[in-house]
Amino acid sequence: MKSALIKVRSILAKSSQVLSMNQRNLEYVYPNNSRVDFPIADDKLLTKRYLEDASVPFPKNYHIYGYFFDLRTLAKDLADLHDFVIKPARGSGGGGIIVIVRKDEHYWYGVNGKPYSVEDIRRHLCDIIFGIYSFGIRDEAIIEQRILQHPTIDAIAAMGLADVRVIMYNDYPALAMMRLPTRASEGRANLHQGAIGVGIDIETGTTHHATMEGGFIDRHPDTGNELIGKEIAYWKEIIEIAKTVSKTVPLKYLGIDVALSVDGPKILEINVRPGIEIQNVNNKGMRDILSNIGTNSGA
């Protein structure tokens, strides 16, 4: 794994096409996104409100808690919910997210089998409201619909929820990848926590390259299933959704995260500072891609 890591990074390090973090910020994020518009991406509830007239699909909100007093109805609110997702409205990097997959007489159970009582969930919601996952700033806790993953993705990575990230610039798709959870990532789709990044060809929606912890791989470590040469379901719809979101919001450089559910794509969130690891995942730098988009769109 380490030798592959060195090989992949050395190829990209020598390339003048690689976009650095500073270049991303100074040439694309800040010139194309006004600071006053950042909350549209940083606040998941505001994202949904901003896009509600654009006919893009989101998971349904079940309950929203903005104050500790709101939690007085929690036991009643949860009584009929057998599966759901808890997340902070302004969290980042997957922090504070709990996916509940089933319920018995006494407990709800997370994707990793961990049991949660009503009081466990109440404490977690209090942490979210208090700002534990939003840099100490008071937050809102969301309980929303759990997305049931499309069977073609479930066959590759059954633990947790995978997503597709599309980097958009001036309303055009630049690069795309799928993030697949693993046991190492505890079912989360965050690359820095041990998930797999799978590069996707923008034109065809076919996977062509994959990395885990920076090193090249071609099979999922948990299932042994192949990662390369797979056609992503609903690819045209995913790209159209990404374009619709990009055209609706005033942010012109952003990442759009989409999950593949059993009944089609659903927006998870948008990110005004999408990471640059997507270049390693695709084994392709972004500088020429972004430059060509800027030229063709008149930027």
Give the per-residue pLDDT at 297: 67
Q: Note the pLDDT tens digit of each residue in 237-256.
A: 999 999 999 999 999 999 99
Q: Note the pLDDT tens digit of each residue in 2-24.
A: 444 444 454 555 467 899 999 99
Q: What is the pTM of this model?
A: 0.89
Q: Note the pLDDT tens digit of each residue in 33-75.
A: 999 999 999 999 999 999 998 989 999 999 999 999 999 999 9
Tell me, what DSSP letter sits at residue 95? T
Torsion 148-150-156-162 (CA) sign: negative
Tell me, what DSSP letter sits at residue 127? H
Residue 87 has pLDDT above 80, yes or no: yes
Q: Note the pLDDT tens digit of each residue in 98-117.
A: 999 999 999 999 988 899 99
Give the per-residue pLDDT at 185: 87
Give the per-residue pLDDT at 15: 66
- With residue 50 as reference, give the H or E element that holds it: helix 44-51
